[in-house]
Amino acid sequence: MQDAKLDMSQALSIAREIESALHDAAADRRVDVLRRVTDLFITDAEKFSADQTALFDGVLSQLVNHIEKRAAVELSRRLAPVANAPGQTVRHLAGHDDIGVSGPILEKSERLSDDDLVAIAKTKSQAHLAKIANRARLNESVTDVLVDHGDAEVANTLATNTGARFSNIGMAKLVMRADGDDQLTESIGRRADVPPHVYRQLLTQATEAVRSKLLAAAPPENRDTIKSLMAELTAQVAPKASAAHHYAAAHRAMQPFAQDTELTKRKILEFANLKRVPEVAVGLATLSGVPVEQIDALLSTANGFGLIVLCKSLALDWQDAYVVLNTGRAASQAMQLREQYAALTVPSAQRVLRFWQGRQKVAKAIFQTSPT
């Protein structure tokens, strides 16, 4: 297909109109010029060469800085579905603080690169992240950032988006965030790309009601496997002594070191090598500020991802984290988690841990206020 032609007289006419509009105090005049330039581009957009598109980009990027919100919203909606929309103009609109302007571009424009999306996800509002999470296709580098920075709505939108792809670490973090969140747990459980060991963790932390829903929604060929796993998980549940009684001696043993972070770390490793779980739990709680009951939950599960998040949040190196992992029920998984530990950053681990703590507090409050 031949390129559409913009002759010199058209180009000069556009340039004169833009210069006049930018110096004209009347907003309506600027909007009228913007609309006509946009019409001219969209009519033959698929025929324009890269150089011709760049010409429109220069024109529109000048105008977009001098128009009111209403016109910017209209421009964003019109350019969002255009495959070769002017790149500079699109990026300007995508970064707009007003979601009415940025939303259509963030949700639909193919002109935004993964780097563009990551930069916006790290700096803009949850409304911006929610629009990105709803895109038809999302690569791992983008979903990693959305899992780290998004709120519950963003996380659930991601989980229900079949076009979103997740890295191993991204999916594991999403599952940890789902602990105590039935909606997110169910959304993840309905995906077809959850690795078996991560799906096991999801079922481990799911409520009976959610497990039943996932079983009912599973393909017939998978139901026997899920039933078997659910039976295994039920058999593993055993009543525990109260945390206060269980950890009283451990608190006394760790108290002399509580004010010395490095000494506390060394004592944690000493007790971990001796398989002294209560002292390890109390020590980790002392360093992290996470209640010992929640540390106990992480040590008690066979999936070690929660523990590596905790250890990474404390900036422990892999050798020390490995010793901690071998203390609890996740020992058999320890070496398998090394790659994920290396991929996890300290800030990311700290964010995931905060999300998880928040969900645990909500779940505890609901349980305590529920009628008996």
Of the candidates 132, 203, 142, 137, the one whose C-alpha atom is nearest the C-alpha of residue 167 is: 142
Distance CA 48, CA 98 (A): 30
Give me the count of residues in the chain: 372
Do 238 and 253 contact (CB within 8 A), yes or no? no
Please state, in angstroms and as integers, the Cα–Cα distance from residue 2 to each residue in 5, 131, 214, following that order: 9, 36, 53
Strand partners, 164: 138
Do 179 and 360 contact (CB within 8 A), yes or no? yes
pLDDT, block means (10 residues), the chain with 372 residues: 49 59 64 83 85 85 84 94 94 96 97 97 97 98 96 96 95 88 93 86 84 84 76 55 66 88 93 92 92 85 83 94 85 79 90 79 51 46
Residue 138's SS3 state is strand
Position 66 scores a pLDDT of 78
Position 232 scores a pLDDT of 66
- Number of neighbouring beta carbons within 10 Å of residue 343: 15
Do 59 and 43 contact (CB within 8 A), yes or no? no
Strand partners, 138: 164
Of the candidates 261, 296, 263, 269, the one whose C-alpha atom is nearest the C-alpha of residue 282 is: 296
- Type of residue numbered 222: N
Distance CA 262, CA 45 (A): 63
Distance CA 172, CA 305 (A): 7
| Percent of the chain surpassing pLDDT 90 | 43
Contacts with 75 (C-beta within 8 Å, 6 or more apart), sequence order? 34, 38, 60, 64, 67, 89, 93
Burial class (CB in 10 A: 0-12, 13-18, 19+), 97: exposed
Distance CA 323, CA 266 (A): 11
pLDDT tens by residue, 315-332: 999 999 999 988 877 777
Counting Cα atoms < 13 Å in the Cβ hemisphere of 312 gives: 25
The pTM (predicted TM-score) of the whole model is: 0.78
Position 241 scores a pLDDT of 45
Residue 208's SS3 state is helix
Owner of token pair 């206060």: 244
Structure tokens at 270: 């000493």
Position 36 scores a pLDDT of 84
Position 189 scores a pLDDT of 92
Position 362 scores a pLDDT of 54
Do 133 and 106 contact (CB within 8 A), yes or no? no
Distance CA 147, CA 275 (A): 33
Position 24 scores a pLDDT of 58
Distance CA 238, CA 246 (A): 15
Position 35 scores a pLDDT of 86
DSSP assigned state of 255: G
